[in-house]
Structures are given as C-alpha cells and as structure tokens.
Structure 1
Amino acid sequence: MRKTAAHIIALLLCSACLSAQPVSEKADSFAVPPPAELIVSPPGGFYPTGPVTIEAQCPGGQLYYTLDGSTPTRQSNKYTNPFTLTATRIIRFLAAYPDERGEERWSHTYFIGEPETNFPVVSIGIDPPTLFDPFHGLFVAGPESDDSYWKKPGANFWSKREVAANVEIFEPSGLCTYRSESGFRLFGGMSRLFPQKSIALIARDRYGDHRIKHEIFGEQGEKKFKFLVLRNGGSDFGKSHFRDALIASLTEEWDIETQDYRPSHVYINGEYWGIYNIREKINRYFIDSHFKGVENDSIDLMEHRFTVKYGSAAHYRRMISFLEQNDLSIAENFAYLNTLMDIDNFLNYQIAQIYIDNQDAGGNIRYWRPQTPNGRWRWILYDTDWGFGLHDPNAYQNNSLAFHTAADGPSWPNPPWSTFILRKLLENEGFRARFVNRFSDHLATSFEPKRVHERINTFYHRLKPEIPRHFDRWKLRAATWEHHISRMHTFAEERPRYMRMHLMEHFQTGPQRLLSAGAGRGGQVVLNSHVHISQDTLTGTYFERYPVTLKAVAYNGFRFSHWEGRGVPDSLARELQLQLKQKHTEAYAVFEPYQHPLESQLVINEVSPKSGEAGDWLELYNGSSEVVDLSGWSISDCKQNELHLPKILLKPREYLVITEDAARLRQVHPGVYNLLGGMKFGLNKRHESIALYASDGAMVDSISYWAPPVDSAFTLSLLLPDLNNADPENWAFRPGKGTPNSANPYYVESTVRAEQARWVQLGLAGGVLLLCGLMLALRFRGIL
C-alpha cells in the first residue's frame, strides 16, 4: 500500500510534467486497401524483338480485349489463355465485374521492334470507325465535303466533336507516365487540311483521370494538365516542323505568354503516326497554370476582334471605346490606358510579331485579363508558323512594321481593327521612343544573329535523327526540310539589318549609333530598364534621336564608383540618359568593395507572392539598434522594376510591409499598421529575385526563390530574423496568408518551445522536490 501510493504520486507528477510536450497524432490503421486492378505481365512498353507473350488476370472479374484499338465490350475476345504479339499492338482490356464495380477499361501498348528514340511516345487507342469511317470518320472528308473549294467546307475534319480514347504517354526510358481513357478532339485551323491532323487530348473525370499529372515539359514546366495538344506543325507541316516552337524559345525571357514545347512520336491503334509537337492548349486552364494567383473561372479570355472564349468582352469593349475617343499623346490618357492593359506586354508582343514577319498575326490574336478591379489585358504569342519566311524566301526584307501599323489593310491578314491598338499607342512620343529602343534591345540580344543561329541548330539537331521516320510516314521530302532550315538561317542573318532600316524610315530616327556597355567586378549595368549586362560587354545598334538609359546596379559587398568610357559624361550618378551623338559610345560602370553598415540587419523577412485577396506583398525587418530613414532607398525585382521608398522612419525591431494595394491588404489583414502601398510590380509566383538598395546605391539585402507550384495562398518566411537570408535552408514555405507586421511563425514557435522547455524543466525540478518532501513526510509518519 505504501509503495502503491508513492508510485501513483510519482506517475501523476510525471504525467503533469510531460503533458506540456506536444503529442503526435496516431496514424490511421484502418486505411482502405487499394482496389484490385488489372495485372498484365509483361506490362506495356518497349521490346526490341518479338514475340511477346501476354498474360493477364483481374481478380474477381472477367477480361475481354481487342487488338485493333476498338473499345472492348463483353462481345470482344474473352481472355482465357496467354497469347503472343509479334508486332506493335495496343491491347485494350475490359474488366467486367459481377458486383457494383461494373466495368473498367485499361490499355497497354507493346512497341515491338520499334526504333530507339529520345522523344516521348504517345499511344492512342480509339475505335477505328471514329477516325476512318468513310461517312463519319474524323480523319476523312466525308460525303458533305465541298471539294470544289480549297477549304473543303462541310468536311468531317472540321468537326468539334469530342470522343473517348485510351491514351498512354511513355518517356524515352520506357516509363509509362500516364495511362487513362481521355477525351480526343481534332485541333487547329487550316492545318486540318493536311493528312496528319492535330489532336487535343482532354483529361476528364467521366473518362478517367481528371488531370494528366506528369512533368511532360521537364522540371521547370507545369506538373499537371487538363489539355494537351499534339500539333502537326500547323502551317509548318512538311517544312521545318518547329518554327512556332523556335519563335517561342527566342522570346522565353520576355514578359509574354508562350506555350511549352516537346516533340514526340505518336502511334494510333499501334500504327506509327509521325512526329507531333506536344504543346499546351490556350484556354482558361493554361492561364490558371501559368499565373498561380489567377483562378481559371475568374478571367476574360478572348480571340480575334471580340470573340469571347471565356468570361466577358465588356471590359475590352470599354477599353477600345476609350482608345477611339481619346488622344494618347496626352500623358494622363496614356497612364489611364496602362491601368486597362499591360502596355509593356503588348509592346513585346508586337515586336515579336513584326520581327518574325508573321503575315498571319491578325488571324491569331489571343488576349486575356483577370476579372479583378485592377486586372489588365495581356497578349499571348500564339500560332506563329508563318514567321521566318514560311512562304517567302525573301521575307527578311518585308516591311512588317508598315504591315502591322496599316490603317487600311484588307479583311485578312491585317484588317484595320487588328492594327488599331498599336497605331493609337504610337501617338504617344514616350511610347514611340520605348518602342524603338526596345526593338533595338531585342535585335542586340534575343534576335542577335549568332543566338538565333544557335537556337535553329539546337532544334535541327534534336529532330535530325528522329525525323526520317516522319518523312517516310507522310511521304515528305528531306530536301524540303533542309531547304527550310537554310531559309530560316538566312532570315536570322539578314533580318536585323532590314528591321533597322524600317525603324529609321517609320520613326525618322536619325543615323544609327553603336553603343557598347558593360560592368566591372561587383555589379551590372541595366540598359533601358530591362537588359542586364554583367562583365561581358554588350554592343548594340541604336539611333541618335532616341536617348538610351544606363543604370549601374551594385552587387552585395560593393557600391557604384563611377563611369568610364568614350562619350560618357563626367558624372557620379548611377543612372545616365545618353544621347548618342557619336558613331560609337562606350560606357562601363566601375564598382568598389563596400559593406553597408546595415547589411544583415535590415532584411527582407517575408515574401507573399500568392496571397489571393491581399495582393502581393513583402516585409522588411529592422534588426539593428537604430532608427533607419528609408528616404531614397529602393526595392527592385529581377526585371529591375523599382519602387522608390518615401521618408519612412523604421524603428529598431520594427516591420514594414510593402504591397501593391494597401487598402486591399488591410481588408485581409486589418491589424497591419506599418504599411506602404504603391508597389507597381507584382512578385512572380514561381521564381523571383528581390533586392533592397540604400540611398547610396549599395545593396543592403537580396533574396532569390524558386517556389513549388501550388494552387493555394502561401508565403516564404525567414525562420529567424538574424539568420542569413541568402541561404535557402533558412526559409520556410508556409501555406496560408502569412504574418505581415509580426514575427514569423517559426520565430514564434521556437520562442514558445524554448519557454515550454524552461517551464517543463522547472516543473520536473519542482516535482522531484515535492515528491521527496512527500516521501520524507510519509516516512516520518511511519507510512513508508
């Protein structure tokens, strides 16, 4: 009895002390077992030689199968014994169950004796009559086709009908990354006239998987897709087969939306169907995947003039009405227009279309906006196959600038409505200067001939070992392919010279001038607000009439010292505006070692690039012991968009939240007190670089991040304010709305844990003393 009493007291004391520690939840031990599935041995995949013997079983069900791509039914071949395949076949299985499971379908494709490839392979199993029936087949003209007209109106292949098909996607390694029944639909415009038709694949619940979940475009691409397009090259079919993808790659660093690309081999019902370019489909799901803060059911997506693909045209019509009624040479009107459309995005879009000489641009206009109060229209670079001299070997000479600004073009390809916005923008002198300088920047960088030659060669060598099968399949000539590659190289070499001539004529720019710009160790030069030049010198051709801007940006541990070069004014200013009067101007920024006294003390502490209703924001933390006057300080992103900070006195241990819209953030976080709005640039949801500069131009802090693709709000927060925020290990990815103007969760949690640990230790010590006291008292009374 005495020992029991002592043990109970000890257990109670220990339980009280231990209850302060967190308790992990138990794992659910009643997990539902996975459902029985078809077991196939060996599985679908690549086999160097045949025959391949197929064994299959489906516990609790009866198997039926087909070998011609048709949908299996209970009247199809009943599986009873193993069978052999000697050539490439797609086996479509039906598992028929006697219980509530009903019927389930799978497909397994066996590629037997097929050539090795470095491309992914897509296998499609579909009822043959769906494609080839002479009356209703999607791949044939059919009896209603009007063959007297080249477009063949009424042909079956103009159908928008969606049908079911089994789809498998294999990586070159042989790994099957997607196997599900999916939607199948023909895709494209005039390219439907070619024997190889473009195809759209759609993942829907009613077929099987609701998304194609695979990194089909690599680690940096999207991870899941509602739609994928298997494109036949569009108008480039039978020619280079990669024009559109090349052009997208040349503009991949620009602020315009483009589609990812990957070439593939496609089989239909086990028959080789040629090389298809896997592309993303332009629709609301594309916008949702590329802009993580945008919901796909809250956008306006349009094409051509006023055709609505999703949402509404009301905002766009109001914008066009504003353009029709207002003079954009007036600064206030131009500034207001920039709240309706992303002018910089449109500028890049137009430059791309003009450089490539896309004579079909007016027929393939795609644009969108988020349905938010500050949502602006943006343009998508789409279907550019007519560029780079598709139909004209001398296209590099064409004056596409005149074409894209014509006020009296025909209904196709450049009707007046398709050139209207650019013509209105060019009423503004500031935009004209920006247009000419931006075009000159791109001619010196993205469209620099050596770079374009290298890109063409990359695509060429990627396709060269794979494309002979494609030629054989569609009776195409290899000589035609080689001819178009050569034509594209000629375009790349000659186009910049003619483009500069057209700019000179259209804008009366004055003579051409060479500019060489570079930076010494410790920083970079930013040309015209977007071209970043490090220690390598960039030389480009500009024009006397339009000044260029140069800005010296110091790296961490340095500050700007001075400019050197020929034709550069004697100035210590970090930013210069140069009127290029002489034939060749040289400007080099010189930096010197320097450590700002507030480095590692005034830090970027939290970033919210996807906070939904609150808008994008970031947080500064003053970890120093002094009040910091932020007058003249600035924050910039990776594109050198800048926010200049006003006079703000940031006290020690105090936070400052900087956001796009202060009122919007306060609706979500009403307790925020130290808040600055007016950040005109948003934060990239996937990858971004942010830097904090002092008034003397020294970099005080900087961070870069690559965030995972997520569908909900999240923040990136520094674990502890005194940690090195350049080390990714010191940052936490946290779902939710974040903690603006307050300590980050880890800091709070670690403080609480430390306090808990202290109280646990005190509790244990007190408990031991109490236990000893009780035992002494019991012993004194003779109980123990």
Structure 2
Amino acid sequence: MKKAACFILSLVLFNSLWAQQKPSGSSGEPLPVELSFSLEGGFYPDEVVVELSSPGAVIYYTIDGSTPSNLSLRYKRPLRLDRTSVLRAVAYHGDGRKSAVAGHTYFIGEPPTNLAVVSVGISPEFLFHPRSGLFMLGNNVVDTLWKKPGANFWSRSEYPCNVELFEADGRCAYRSQSGFRLFGGMSRLFPQKSIAIVARNRYGEPRIKHKVFGEQGLSKFKFLVLRNSGSDFGKSHFRDALMTGLVGGWDIDKQDHRPAHVYINGQYWGIYNIREKVNRYFIAGHHEEVDKDSIDLIEHRLTRKQGSTRHYRALLNFLETHSLADPANYAFVQSQMDVDNFMDYQIAQIYFDNRDAGGNIKFWRPRKPGGRWRWILYDTDWGFGLHDLDAYRHNSLAFHTAPDGPSWPNPPWSTFLLRKLLENKTFEQAFVNRFAGYLSTDFSEETVLNRIDSLYQGLVPEMPRHLDRWNLSRGKWEEEVAILREFAQERPSYVRMHLMSRFNTGPRRRLVVSASVGGRLIINDKISVSNDTVELVFFENYPVSIRAAAHHGYQLSRWEGIDANETQREFTLTLNKNTTRLHARFDEFVHPLEGKLVINEICPKNGKAGDWIELFNASRNRISLKGWTLGDLNRNEFVFPEAYIGPNDYLILARDSAKFVQAYPGAYNVLHGLDFGLNKRRESLALYSILGAMVDSISYEMPPADSSFTLNLLLPYLDNADPGNWEFRYGDGSPNAANPYYVESRVRNVQAQWMQMGLAAGVLLLSLILLALRQRGLLGANGA
C-alpha cells in the first residue's frame, strides 16, 4: 500500500515538473510549435531560396508532395528550388510537441494565366503505387472494354493533402491541409480524373473559407470538386458549365463554376472546373433556413442519401391513386413539392436534350412540416449534342414524357412525375407558356451564343497547355464548340414544333413588347422587359399574362398597341394575329402615400414565427390595400386581399399562419398567406399601389446570422431606402408595436424634457430662496 502511495505521489510530482517544463497557454494546453517559411508560396520567374525556421525544434521536409514526418529529410540549410515544387514541412520540439504540417507551392517559370490556379500536394504513393494508387488500375481490375470493375480508381478512400488556391493575380487566397478523394462516375475512366477536396478538423480547417466563385457565391465550403468536365472530357470542356449558367437567374438549385489550372505535386495536370459538391452541405449553404442535419435527400429513384424516403413514397402513392385533373388533388401536390421548381427543372432538361437525366436525379426537402421537394440541376454533360451531331432535332419532350421507356436512360419511373402533372390544365398552360417564354429569352439563339462565346473566349488562351497535357487536338476542341453553337441556333424552333405536336397550342404568334423609362413589363410572371424592345413567340391557344411594374417615382400611364383599359395594371392577352405590339407608357408620379405607408419591420427566417413583414400607416387616414402588391427580388408578388390599415397603426404579412399566431398570440391585423419567403442575406421588397405606383421599397444585404433577427426602421418618417436608417436587432421583433429605437428615443426625449424641467424648477427654487434671504437681510446685495 505504501509502495502504491509512493508511486502515485512520484507520478504526480513528475507530471507537475513536466508541466512546469512544457510550455503552455493560459488554458493549460501545450503551446503550439510555430513553423515559418521565409518566402510565401507563389509565382516566380526564376529559382528561389526558402528558409524554414522553428525555434528550439527540428524541421523535416519533403518536396515530392509527401506528408512530412520525422522520417523525412531533415532541414539543415536554406533550400534552393529551381522548378515548380510543393514544399511541405513539420517541426518537432524536444519536449514531444510538434507543429502542424504546412505547405507552400513555388511555381517557377510557369506561363502566365488569367485563370485561378490550384496546387495539390499529396504522397505520390497514394496516387501512383502500382498496387494501390488511386490513378492506377491495380491488381484487382477486371480488364473489360469499358467499366473496368475492381480498378483502384473506383476506390472511396480519402488521403491527406496540401491544397492551395491562387487567384489570377497570383495571390494565395486559401492554403490548408485537407482531404483528397476521387470523384465522379464513369468519368473516372478518363486519364484526367475528377477530385473532391474535403475540409476537416483532423487535417486543418473545418471549412474552405474563401469566395471561390466571386462575391455572389458562398463564402465557405465543406467540399469542392475539381471536375474533369465529366462525359465532356476531351470535347468542349465547359458543356455542363454552359447549361447550368443559362439558368443562373432561375429559382433552381445548381452548382457554381470556375475554370482553373491544377498542379499535382508540382506537375501540371490540366484545366479543371471548380464546382460545388451536391450534398447536404451544398443545400444548407444555399438555403440558410435549412439545417443540414434535418433534410431528406434522395438520389436516382429512391436511394436515400440523407434523412428518409417516407414522405416522398407517400407522395408517389398519392399520385398513383389520384387524378391531377382534379384541382383539389393538384393543390395537395403543390403543398408536397415545389411545382414551380420542378417545372423549371424539366424545361431545362428538355431544352438541353440531356438524355442522361434519368440517371442523374437528386431532390430534397427540409424535414419539417410544410417542407416541399425541390430538384437539383447537375451533371448535364450529355446535353447539347454530346453524342449526336443533330441532337437539336431530338424530341426530348416525348423522351421525358414516355410512359414505356427502357431501363436506361428514360425508364417509366423517371418520367412519371411530369406525366402526372400534365394531367392538370393549369400546370399544362403554365408549362407551355413558360417554356415558350424561355425559348425567346434565356434559351434564345442570341443569349445562348453569347454564353458560349464568353466561356470559349475565356479558355482560348489557356487550352493549348491542357490539350498538350492530355494529348488532345485543338481542331477537335474547335469542332465541339461548333456543335454547341449549332445546337444554340437550331434548338428553339425544333422545341416549338415539339410543343405544338404534344399540345393543342394553335399557331405560333409573335408578341413584341417594350416599356418606357420608369417601369417594366412582367410576362407570365417570369419574363421581365424594361426599356429594350423584346420579341417573344407564344401560342394562340395559351393566353399570356401581362403585368406592369412602375419604378419609384413613376406610375403606369397607358398601354399602346392594344384595346385595353389604359390604367389596368394587369390583364391576360390572347394572341390572335401574327404579330401583336404592346408598349407600356410610364409617367412621373409621386404617390400621396409615399413616406406615409412604409415597410417598417422585416423578420426573415424566424424559426419560431416564420417570415413576416410589418407595414406602418403614418397618415391620418384609413387605407384600403385591396389589389396592392408586395414584390421581392425573385419577382414573387403577394396581392393584397380585402385589407385595411388604420391611421398610426400596423399591418402584418405572415408566411406561416400557425407559427406566427403561436409566437404572437396577441397580434392583430395580420394577413396570413404571404406566398414567398424572405432571404436572410440579401433581399429587395417593394410595395405597389393598385395602379402600379411604387409607394415604398427596401433592399438589404446582411452578413451571415445563425440566430433570428429583425430589421427595424429607426423612425417611421425616415427614408427607408437609406441603409443608415435601419437597425439590425437579434430576437423576435415587435409586431404591432413601435420599433425599439423609436420607443427608446421617445423615452430619451421624455427624460430630457423632465431633466430640463427639473433644472428649470431647481433654478427657480434657488432664486426664490436667495430672494427670501435678501429680504430678511441674511444675504448681501452681491449674494455674499
């Protein structure tokens, strides 16, 4: 027992002495070992000399991409690098501590570029070992003509690596230790293989924190993909980027894109397309209100990637047993899936002639009451004539609605949803009109050719290196780009013929629309036309909706070109002649309620109450809002039903009625059914009168915020177009009540008034006392 006690005491004393000798921070944790490079990684015309330093430590390094350890080369003197190299190092202190692995890439004499550059440093054996390397066939491959099952490149293994991203100006924007794995399906068979980069705590940083895709893109990523262009490898090298870019303004989930030169262990590896990885992190990144751990994500037919398939199976069962010709059944389906999103998704796939759409399907919903299914557009490489020179002729509408297709590429289950939705006449009319509108705008020959030329011109000076690296032909690349151009030129007319053969559209009709300064036209809720004259092609049997939206300080004056009520802001137009011309005239106008009826408080993505907006009437009159509209950045509009707002009173627009009432049981004058949500990061809202005059508007752009917050107009009479007049406050807000700053300012004013009154009273009292003392002779005339 005594021996045990002595041993424990000795151990305690030893640990105490060791702790005293081992440097530690304020928390008691050992201090990290610092390791520094004398020269930042980057681009240099000639050889460089790099010194490594770590006081009191021994440094080990590698220049072949390997992860350094105490078995690597020991650093003794400055290193001279005369060719592009990834220098990785680690420092070991004598007390057992070691530094984090660090790496810098030195590009020596590399050609100039206008693209981003990505450098990957990884142990060569992970990629090139004959038996286990990811880029090798390995010993277990079945040497078939095509898929080569058992090959190493089908491995899902992940290995540590050093990753750096350099902007086109040579600046290193991101540098960290990360995870490396292969990515993709059949494209793994190509010599240039796609790579997924993964940020994890165990390597270095938990997120890649950089706006890789510019200011409008995300600022952090869990995964990034270096994509070899998929099935388009060896062809245009930007097919998928072209297609997803064409729908950039649509309400559809799609990946960002950026081309980059990639180096692996200092060796040039060609041009890759940097893309986001489609998974739960991608969804949560683009939908701030969504918890990545609370979604249902399904791939292909019913492969569960996250969450559950139960909700989707129930939807399929309903569709199989109910006709959507019944408006009530259609309304139920709209509550289960985002029908607008699905419509856009199908229109895009059909126009693209993506014949692999039945194989690349991903869709998701937030796992909460009211969560609806949305579809993700990705991996569209088989579109735009990948394997067929006259693909622009292909009737993709028939392909995507075939009830009896083969097991691949369009089995019956992959066309089922669209076939069912087309049972409903409302959906059919919206589908045909929207498709026709896109063929005249986002998918017009001019728009698509401009997009192709933009991508092509960006790659022209860069492609020779890539083509040489993979022994590809410049002539073949030019031929592939020509195929894209021909598709863009020919496709719209063929798709119109396909629509006419599938639906009772009637003849094609031209609608030529324009708007004067001061407003815009909105066609079929999707197409926006401002000052320019735009020619659209629709069909006689599908009437077109027209809406005028005035800019601030203007109002619709009249329509020119048709017999319509000149003050009617919105109407439906049947096109019964070859060409109809329509011009909207807007005149300067200041609405009498401008500055009096204001957007006073905004609460986006509130977990407890849902989205809501507060209006305040600062006038002395009761205002009828029937027929007024509130619109947002994505062209969504809420039309006010019968509604009034009293003088010096409030009105609330709530998106989720049940949640709002539960959160604010005492709230009054609440309009439920706001049919669009609010964005936490950036949003624009505008309030229009029944005649289309903009009465009030507000735009904001906010940093990321995890908690609920509101934006409050400081004082009702301030200009809410000025960001300085708004206040950001965490919490649940103050519906039907004055905003906190206004209340606080009133309190401060009252306090100041009382202080002034108190000071005046004190002076008066002191004067009376002095006067009384003088009268009694107790105080001299001079107050002494």
Tell me the TM-score normalized by structure 1.
Answer: 0.92
Displacement after TM superposition at 1:147 (Å):
1.2
1:237-288: CA deviation from partner (whole Å, max 9, x where unpaired): 1111111111111101111011111111111111111111111110111111
Q: Which amino acid aligns with 1:600?
A: G
Q: Pick 1 or 2: higher relative contact order, CA cutoff 8 A, min separation 6.
A: 1
Could you tell me how far apart the structure 1 residues matched to 2:570 and 2:45 are?
64
Q: Which amino acid aligns with 1:409?
A: G
Asked whether the 8 Å contact 1:292–1:685 carries over to 2, the reply is yes
Could you tell me how far apart the structure 1 residues matched to 2:307 and 2:230 are?
27
* Aligned match of 2:389: 393
Asked whether the 8 Å contact 2:715–2:741 carries over to 1, the reply is yes
Displacement after TM superposition at 1:34 (Å):
9.3
* Aligned match of 1:641: 636
* Aligned match of 2:23: none
Structural mapping, 1:345-356, within 5 Å? 345-356=341-352
Asked whether the 8 Å contact 1:291–1:685 carries over to 2, the reply is no
* Aligned match of 2:237: 241
* Aligned match of 2:418: 422
Match of 2:72 among 52, 70, 76: 76
Could you tell me how far apart the structure 1 residues matched to 2:764 and 2:212 are?
65
* Aligned match of 2:478: 482
Task: Tell whether 2:551 aligns with 1:555.
Answer: yes
* Aligned match of 1:294: 290
Could you tell me how far apart the structure 2 residues matched to 1:464 and 1:630 are?
56
> Cα gap change, 1:101/1:623 in structure 2, threshold over 3 Å: closer, same or farther?
farther
1:376-421: CA deviation from partner (whole Å, max 9, x where unpaired): 0001110011111111111111111111111111111111100000
* Aligned match of 1:581: 576
* Aligned match of 2:446: 450
* Aligned match of 1:252: 248
* Aligned match of 2:340: 344
Match of 1:734 among 720, 724, 729: 729
Could you tell me how far apart the structure 2 residues matched to 1:671 and 1:115 are?
68
Match of 1:42 among 20, 39, 57: 39
Could you tell me how far apart the structure 2 residues matched to 1:181 and 1:383 are?
28
SS at match of 1:335: helix
Q: Which amino acid aligns with 1:40?
A: F
Q: Which amino acid aligns with 1:493?
A: Q
Displacement after TM superposition at 1:476 (Å):
1.1
Asked whether the 8 Å contact 2:33–2:99 carries over to 1, the reply is no
* Aligned match of 1:513: 509
* Aligned match of 1:439: 435
Which deviates further from its counterpart, 693-702 or 376-385? 693-702
Q: Which amino acid aligns with 1:58?
A: S
* Aligned match of 1:708: 703
Task: Tell whether 2:250 aligns with 1:268.
Answer: no
* Aligned match of 1:685: 680
> Cα gap change, 1:122/1:763 in structure 2, threshold over 3 Å: closer, same or farther?
farther
Displacement after TM superposition at 1:541 (Å):
1.0
Displacement after TM superposition at 1:31 (Å):
12
Which deviates further from its counterpart, 552-561 or 364-373? 552-561
Could you tell me how far apart the structure 1 residues matched to 2:616 and 2:335 are?
31
* Aligned match of 1:11: none
Which deviates further from its counterpart, 724-733 or 291-300? 724-733
| Percent of pairs with identical residues | 57
* Aligned match of 2:10: none
Displacement after TM superposition at 1:81 (Å):
1.3
* Aligned match of 2:6: none
Asked whether the 8 Å contact 1:96–1:104 carries over to 2, the reply is no
1:97-151: CA deviation from partner (whole Å, max 9, x where unpaired): 2346444211111111111112221111111111111111111111111112410
Asked whether the 8 Å contact 1:357–1:400 carries over to 2, the reply is yes
Unaligned runs of 5+ in 1: 1-29
1:462-511: CA deviation from partner (whole Å, max 9, x where unpaired): 11111111111111111111111111011100100111111111113121
Match of 1:194 among 186, 190, 203: 190
1:43-69: CA deviation from partner (whole Å, max 9, x where unpaired): 21111111x111110123221101111
* Aligned match of 2:201: 205
SS at match of 1:614: coil
* Aligned match of 2:716: 721
Asked whether the 8 Å contact 1:329–1:428 carries over to 2, the reply is yes
Match of 1:463 among 454, 459, 462: 459
SS at match of 1:219: coil
* Aligned match of 1:18: none
Could you tell me how far apart the structure 1 residues matched to 2:336 and 2:317 are?
12
Asked whether the 8 Å contact 1:610–1:715 carries over to 2, the reply is no
> Cα gap change, 1:340/1:775 in structure 2, threshold over 3 Å: closer, same or farther?
same
1:180-214: CA deviation from partner (whole Å, max 9, x where unpaired): 11111110011100011101111111111001101
Which deviates further from its counterpart, 605-614 or 569-578? 569-578
Structural mapping, 1:171-186, within 5 Å? 171-186=167-182
* Aligned match of 1:285: 281
* Aligned match of 1:541: 537
Structural mapping, 1:401-416, within 5 Å? 401-416=397-412
SS at match of 1:104: coil
SS at match of 2:100: strand
Could you tell me how far apart the structure 1 residues matched to 2:31 and 2:744 are?
38
Could you tell me how far apart the structure 1 residues matched to 2:385 and 2:516 are?
40
Could you tell me how far apart the structure 2 residues matched to 1:467 and 1:97 are?
47
Task: Tell whether 2:55 aligns with 1:59.
Answer: yes
Tell me the TM-score normalized by structure 2.
Answer: 0.92
Q: Which amino acid aligns with 1:497?
A: S
Displacement after TM superposition at 1:324 (Å):
0.5
Displacement after TM superposition at 1:175 (Å):
2.0
Could you tell me how far apart the structure 2 residues matched to 1:307 and 1:31 are?
47
Asked whether the 8 Å contact 2:63–2:86 carries over to 1, the reply is yes
* Aligned match of 1:748: 743
Displacement after TM superposition at 1:514 (Å):
0.7
Match of 2:144 among 135, 142, 148: 148
Could you tell me how far apart the structure 2 residues matched to 1:752 and 1:125 are?
62
- Give the paired residue count: 751
> Cα gap change, 1:590/1:774 in structure 2, threshold over 3 Å: closer, same or farther?
same
Q: Which amino acid aligns with 1:557?
A: G
